[in-house]
Structure 1
Amino acid sequence: MIISASFDTKDPSQWFNRALQYGDGVFETMRVQEGRIPLLQWHMQRLQHSLVKLKLNAFNDIEIDQALAAIKNLGQQSWVMKLVVFRASQKRTYQPLTKDHEWVLSVEPLVVDDVAEPMQLGVADNHLSHQERLAGIKHLSRLEQVMLADELNDQPGCDDLLVLDRLGNIIETTYQNIVLIKDNKLFTPDLSHCGVAGVALSWLSSAEKVRKIDIKVTELMAFDAMMVGNSVRGFRPVGLVKNITAKNDISFATEHPIQDNISRVWLNLFS
């Protein structure tokens, strides 16, 4: 449900906007816990960085206060909140003619699995294209992710899919970032050319050294453990990556001291 917006959401003409027409904007998906957003600092950092990339005016303090004031009325239930910021209306053309923006905030109840079993991943056939100007940001043009996630319908035994770029480097999954552990060190794929720099990954990188690397799927067997995560569901261990070479799977240890510590700190953050 919509709980706040910068425009009259009851006016049908307001929905004929650049978010709907061109995907000309960005969004943040935040977890609300007991009326607060534990990762708000990292969400706002990415939002402001994303607006700069799209040459949109910054989200100012008044707008932030107005948008987030609505969460005080949500009670103690856990929610998923989505903030969409998009270029303000202008005449019909691809060419951006304004830096002004509009925004809308919506929420839905958060449903979390009581038992977070280790995930089983497959490998997507389609690849992410390189676009350095959009790399890292969570823009509204998500058709690539929709097509990649559609492949899950053909791999019913998988919880998610590893997504590669055109060079064969692992980038992310269809909706999560990747963290690998080797010799008690943390690694994550380099997102310089494509992919989303997730807020959960930014949170982790603020507390631990996470090294950015290029890695092929067949090189995964060199790592001791693997996690995937996002800002809503946190980090979960990966137990298996299926059909690496159409005949071999790769198994990972689902318990590791570093992995267990990250999960413990994350739970404390949202308790």
Structure 2
Amino acid sequence: MSQYRVKKDDFPWWLVAAVAIGVVSAVTIAASDVYGQILSTLVKGLWVTLLVTIVAFAMASALGLLIALLGLSNSKLLRQVSRFYVEIIRGLPILVLLFWIAFVGAPAFVVAWNWVTLPLQSAGLVEPMQVRDFSLLWRAIIALTIAYSSFIAEIFRAGIQAVDVGQIEAAKALGLSRTQRFRLIVWPQAFRTILPPYGNDFIAMVKDSSLVSVLGVADITQMAKVYASGSFRFFETYSIVAYVYLLLTVGLSLSLRALERRMRRDFTP
């Protein structure tokens, strides 16, 4: 038996230690006026962080599923398009993609939009669009959507391909349409396979949402940057930032594990 195998009955001492540190940190924050003021400032950016994460991940999931289905298509052209998209986007650092969308893609979109709507502008029905009308918040959301859709597409593709082909053939024999086979046979089984990496990508996006601060979007990291540069309390400020992100990510990780265990119990014969 391998000495590296994790025992199922191992007590989660790491969680006890993490909770203890979290409780001590919470008491320290509650007892300190400085930490309390910093936390109240950062909470204003928490809603932006959650908004960016949830909206971008939902859009990335929809786009990723589309790319995955193209990759599983019977058309060679669509499969090549899917593979091109996945390989190119995955090869770009998220920060580089964020800058490209914000300062290249967005202005190019504005130029294209004004050119398409030129007749409507001449008739006075539509106002010309300015680059500043394209908010930095939505530029950041679109960049994260594109970046994560390539990873999610691969997760979906692998999960769908893991479904037993025999079940799909049986569904065909029963006369189920392609949509019915996917909805009733393929997706419920694929979802159990993709849930762990899919959930991990959501947790990763919570952390990567901090990158939007480079565009000046007022998320937690940006609010911390502004506060620390004005008060010179860098240790206290970024300690609170780390604490808030750990609350989010560890909490989500534990919730994901609980959901995985529940699904295993529900589907174990």
Q: Which has the higher contact order (CA 8 A, sep 6+)?
A: 2
Please report the TM-score for the alignment, with normalisation by the length of structure 1.
Answer: 0.24
Greater helix share, structure number: 2
Q: TM-score with structure 2 length normalisation?
A: 0.24
The structure in which a higher percent of residues are strand is 1
